[in-house]
Amino acid sequence: MSIEKLAREQVQALTPYQSARRIGGSGDVWLNANESPFDNAYTVSGQGLNRYSSCQPASLSNAYADYAGVDTNQVITTRGADEGIDLLLRAFCEPNQDSVLICPPTYGMYAVSAENQGIATTQVPLTADWQLDMAGIDTALEADASIKLIFVCSPNNPTGNLINRDDIEALLTRTQGRAIVVLDEAYIEFSPEATCTDLLARFDNLAILRTLSKAFALAGLRCGFTLASPAIINLMLKVIPPYPVPVPVADIAEQALSEAGLARMKYQVLDLTANRAYLQAGLSMLPGVEVHPGFGNYLLITLDDADAVFARLGRAGMIVRQTAVANSLRISIGNRDECEKVLAFIRQQLSE
Ligand code: PMP
């Protein structure tokens, strides 16, 4: 089945809202968008904020396409990767009819976003070593024709491991013409060699989620991207709100993707990777603590006293996260001082 035919029927038939920026035009007298003619003091790189932004600022799409090594028509800019999840559900899943497949323990927004749109979730948990249960996924796909999206996260949040590339490829082959595989690479800059962007050339049913929130240190910017076949990107563009990329966001995102911005990001990734190694080595030496190898900017540890340690860390003003993995704590990699503090505190707790 073609990608278009996989879409929600109502989306296939939908004529997208024709915002003034989409209709476009050329000339000096712009009176088609009920904007104000006053360009007040708030300017970003010379562009006035009295005008609506472009739906998809071309220079930002080009910059991200260059960075990711894909074509510009394979990129959509969204309000964080989270909006990419929402748009894919909106484009492909019929409420109260279609469903999505998730592989817990994994990022919570896939299920919440689906639930929010009246879309059911089928769970096929990861195996004991936190890989895809390929036989289980096969059985679920056979049993349930309503599964339209399959969410895979690599590096996986919260477990931190990478998902085997062979399995991702097999899943894409298995689901071609049948379902979309949504591969969440939010943390990929911390393990760049694991990216699956090259598979976009072979599979039109692959959508890869990306973000500036993690390695680019821009969580407050709310800027993410989905990389996919032009067919998927066009369907997402049908359902995205009219002006999804604010002018200041595009401006800062382009700075982050400039040569200097990319160099800074890579330097910071090296710094955080060193801190992760430091924390991993330190925590591994503590009795009763298992540190799971982490490929993102966080580590998952399991220990008998996780609840108590979590509570005491909180009282000491150190906020980490509990996860769906039994007796676990997920610790984000901060600066060296923060890593030293959290390590020293946990060491002290466990020696008492
Ligand atoms: N995917 C994963 C795996 C995440 O952990 C997060 C953020 N916690 C997101 C997506 C959402 O990222 P964004 O800030 O770009 O919406």
The string of pLDDT tens digits covering residues 236-282 is 999 999 999 999 999 999 999 999 999 999 999 999 999 999 999 99
331 shares its domain with 210: no
29 CA → ligand 1 middle, Å? 41
341 shares its domain with 286: yes
**227, 257, 287 — which closes off a domain?**
257
161 shares its domain with 240: yes
22 shares its domain with 170: yes
Please tell me the distance from the alpha carbon of residue 343 to that of residue 332, in angstroms, as a whole number.
12
Position 149, amino acid: L
- Residue 307 clears pLDDT 70, i.e. is over it: yes
**224, 257, 290 — which closes off a domain?**
257
343 CA → ligand 1 middle, Å? 25
For 296, the domain range is 261-351
180 shares its domain with 239: yes
Q: Phi first, then psi: what are they for 257, rounded to 5°?
A: -95, 5
249 shares its domain with 269: no
298 shares its domain with 203: no
- DSSP 8-state code for residue 212: S
Q: Give me the percent of the chain exceeding a pLDDT of 70.
A: 98
CATH at 231:
3.40.640.10
37 shares its domain with 182: yes
Nearest one of 5, 60, 304 to 177, comparing CA atoms: 5
Could you identify the atom of ligand 1 that is nearest to the CA of residue 212? 15
pLDDT in tens, 56-109: 999 999 999 999 999 999 999 999 999 999 999 999 999 999 999 999 999 999
pLDDT class of 46 with cuts at 50, 70, 90: low
Q: Phi first, then psi: what are they for 102, rounded to 5°?
A: -125, 160
Could you identify the atom of ligand 1 that is nearest to the CA of residue 219? 14
Helix (H, G, I), strand (E, B) or coil at 290: strand
Could you identify the atom of ligand 1 that is nearest to the CA of residue 156? 3
296 CA → ligand 1 middle, Å? 12
175 CA → ligand 1 middle, Å? 25
Could you identify the atom of ligand 1 that is nearest to the CA of residue 157? 3
Q: Is the pTM here over 0.90, yes or no?
A: yes
Please tell me the distance from the alpha carbon of residue 352 to that of residue 283, in angstroms, as a whole number.
16
- Say which residues have a Cβ less than 8 Å from residue 340's Cβ, sequence separation at least 6: none
253 shares its domain with 265: no
pLDDT in tens, 94-130: 999 999 999 999 999 999 999 999 999 999 999 999 9
pLDDT in tens, 130-182: 999 999 999 999 999 999 999 999 999 999 999 999 999 999 999 999 999 99
> CA 304 → CA 57, 176, 288, 289, 309, distances in Å?
50, 43, 7, 8, 9
28 shares its domain with 56: yes
**257, 290, 313 — which closes off a domain?**
257
* Residues 211/216/222/225 CA torsion (nearest 10 deg): -30
225 shares its domain with 306: no
Task: Specify the residue with its C-alpha closest to ligand 1, atom 8.
Answer: 107
338 CA → ligand 1 middle, Å? 22
Q: How many domains does the chain have?
A: 2
Interface confidence, given as ipTM, is: 0.99
Q: What residues form DSSP beta bridges with 150?
A: 101, 181
Q: Residues lining ligand 1, CB < 6 A?
A: 80-82, 107, 153, 157, 184, 186, 211, 213, 219, 224
32 shares its domain with 77: yes
